[in-house]
Amino acid sequence: MMEKSHRMGGRAARQALRAAPIPEEEKPVHPGLSGGRYQPLTQHEIGRIHEAALEALETIGFANALPSCIELVVAAGGSLTDDGRLLFPRVLVEDALARSARDITLYAQDPRYDLELSGSRTYFGTAGAAVHVVDTVKREYRESTAQDLYDAARIVDEMEHIHFFQRPIVLRDIEDPAEMDLNTCYAAVAGTRKHVGTSFVEPAHADQTIDMLEMIAGGEQAWRARPFVSCSCCFVVPPMRFAEDACRVLETCVRRGMPVLLLAAGQAGATSPAALAGAVVQEVAEVLGGLVYVNLIKPGHPCIFGTWPFVSDLRTGAMSGGSGEQAVLMAACGQMGRHYGLPTGIAAGMADAKLPDAQSGYEKAYTNVLAGHSGTNLVYEAAGMHASLLGCCLESYVIDNDMLGAINRTIRGIEVTDESLSLEAIREVCIGGPNHFLGHGQTMSLMQRDYVYPEVGDRLSPKEWNEKGRPDLLENARARVAQILAAPRPVHLSTTIDEAIRARFPVRLATKNMGATRAPENSTTR
């Protein structure tokens, strides 16, 4: 029963309660809330898209398949046309769907941040391949570096509502592709305890990096038991062509026990149909083809169904990541993944805006809302990205964290129980009570458990805002970024392991630039 006391103090009491710590299990939102309330496709439309995808695989197929892929598919009942296209019969696709892994876990270095991909549990994270970082003070773009990636990982590590960290930028200060791939993964896993996503140009790069990850994990067996890094693999070049180098990487990652994001990223009106339904059909067909491929290599290997159809501004041909079409397309793909019951990832939050401004806010908000409510498991690129993925902004991670907290609250929805219907509270307040709920026991008990509050967002009255020096959202975000990066660096990667990695691999991120060291924490809480 809810507490019946009418008042527990005024505003000061409420502020004191808000500042008091609360157990993790009692927070208003948490990672993995169940979505699925937004369904842009009817069941009939889902069926039509599925049938069209099967027909595309059976009659159009893929070009540029590796000999190893052809051998696997043909042996399982597929065929190769005279012009070299690999065809996938319906029964082969259905068999792959039956054998595919479901209810998988994406592990983190710290088990508190493990991601359980079951049902419509939804998590928000980063991603991208930006070649620039946004300087919000100078209002200009500069080339991205390994230091920027490490700093981004450290910031995300402290953001409650950003649940995983996939590489958002390209290391423009490292020219050698092998060193770039290794240093990308190193900077990410050194900067955050959360699950990390990365990518590789060639199979040898994957092998080298996984050797490093096995050192961090404590050996091959420990790595295979809890692989805390996944590979984002663009195994297909839309429309309907295998990417040969990426397929070799895919085979290597499967062999070495690394989970893979099977990523198809056509651009509507350019490399996939301009018709939105057609764009979904092509992406679904391409990823289903990848699913067959992986399950023929190793049945049940953990894969993420990564249908990412992007949108073109058809006036110019340029990508438009913040469009309404982008939002509904990704939500439809999230719905298709739920239909198959597969671990599913889509992309949202890819603002066209160049800076964290009003345009950035509304583009990120509606794309992330629709993605989160679609019931997809993973929403990539949900924070930090600008200029249709060409720019990454560190301050935006802090701002977008507030946004994602609010979006998570909408995913949680409203619980209707005898207690929450509040008839007793209404009776107490209205009959002989104060005629308001500000200090009521129910209000005080729920203010932290049912309500999410922004960290840098402004809810002051105009008078209070003026008295406090007229704080600005971007200024607040800059201060929070500076605070995180000035703090001692994370300790999950021990000095001993770090030194061993540096002795064996060409790590380019200078130790002196990674932050001051601190003693390991004894507590399991932050």
Instruction: Give the start-to-end residue ranges of the domains of the chain.
Output: 11-30+414-446, 98-412
- Indicate the pLDDT class of residue 13, thresholds 50, 70 and 90: low
Mean of the per-residue pLDDT values of the chain: 94
CB-facing half-sphere around the CA of 281: CA atoms within 13 A? 18
The C-alpha atoms of residue 39 and residue 374 are separated, in whole angstroms, by 6
Burial of 162 (0-12, 13-18, 19+ CB in 10 A): buried
Asked if 121 and 241 touch (Cβ cutoff 8 Å), the reply is no
Asked if 475 and 469 touch (Cβ cutoff 8 Å), the reply is no
Asked if 88 and 292 touch (Cβ cutoff 8 Å), the reply is yes
The DSSP bridge pattern shows strands 385-386 and 378-380 to be unpaired
Residues in Cβ contact with 15 at an 8 Å cutoff, skipping those fewer than 6 apart: none
Given this model, what pLDDT does residue 517 score?
A: 78
The topology under which CATH files domain 98-412 is TIM Barrel (3.20.20)
pLDDT of residue 15 exceeding 80, the answer is no
Structure tokens, 297: 């290599």
Asked if 139 and 113 touch (Cβ cutoff 8 Å), the reply is no
- In percent, the amount of the chain with pLDDT more than 90 equals 89
Burial of 92 (0-12, 13-18, 19+ CB in 10 A): buried
- In percent, the amount of the chain with pLDDT more than 70 equals 94
Given this model, what pLDDT does residue 294 score?
A: 98
Structure tokens, 296: 């023929």
pLDDT of residue 10 exceeding 80, the answer is no
Residue-wise pLDDT for 240-290, tens only, equals: 999 999 999 999 999 999 999 999 999 999 999 999 999 999 999 999 999
pLDDT of residue 8 exceeding 50, the answer is no
Given this model, what pLDDT does residue 123 score?
A: 98
pLDDT of residue 92 exceeding 70, the answer is yes
Residue range 22-36: mean pLDDT, rounded:
88
Neighbours of 514 (CB within 10 A): 19
Residue-wise pLDDT for 130-185, tens only, equals: 999 999 999 999 999 999 999 999 999 999 999 999 999 999 999 999 999 999 99
Given this model, what pLDDT does residue 23 score?
A: 84
Residue type, 235: F
Given this model, what pLDDT does residue 333 score?
A: 97
Indicate the pTM of the whole model.
Answer: 0.94
Residue range 97-120: mean pLDDT, rounded:
97
The C-alpha atoms of residue 184 and residue 172 are separated, in whole angstroms, by 11
Helix (H, G, I), strand (E, B) or coil at 493: coil
Q: Is 301 or 20 the better-scoring residue by pLDDT?
A: 301
DSSP state, 318?
A: E
The C-alpha atoms of residue 185 and residue 167 are separated, in whole angstroms, by 8
Tell me phi and psi for residue 141, to 5 degrees.
-105, 140
Given this model, what pLDDT does residue 26 score?
A: 83
How far from chain centre, in Å, is Cα 149? 16
Work out whether the CA dihedral 368, 370, 372, 377 comes out positive or negative: negative
Residue-wise pLDDT for 475-495, tens only, equals: 999 999 999 999 999 999 999
227: cis peptide before it, omega within 30°?
no
pLDDT of residue 210 exceeding 70, the answer is yes
Given this model, what pLDDT does residue 22 score?
A: 78
Given this model, what pLDDT does residue 479 score?
A: 97
Q: At what angle do helices 276-297 and 43-59 cross, to 10 degrees?
A: 60
Sheet containing 310-313: give its strands across.
Answer: 267-268, 310-313, 318-319
pLDDT of residue 522 exceeding 60, the answer is no
Given this model, what pLDDT does residue 486 score?
A: 96
Asked if 488 and 516 touch (Cβ cutoff 8 Å), the reply is yes
Question: Of 303, 263, 327, 241, which Cα lies nearest the Cα of 65?
Answer: 241
Asked if 303 and 100 touch (Cβ cutoff 8 Å), the reply is yes
Given this model, what pLDDT does residue 131 score?
A: 98
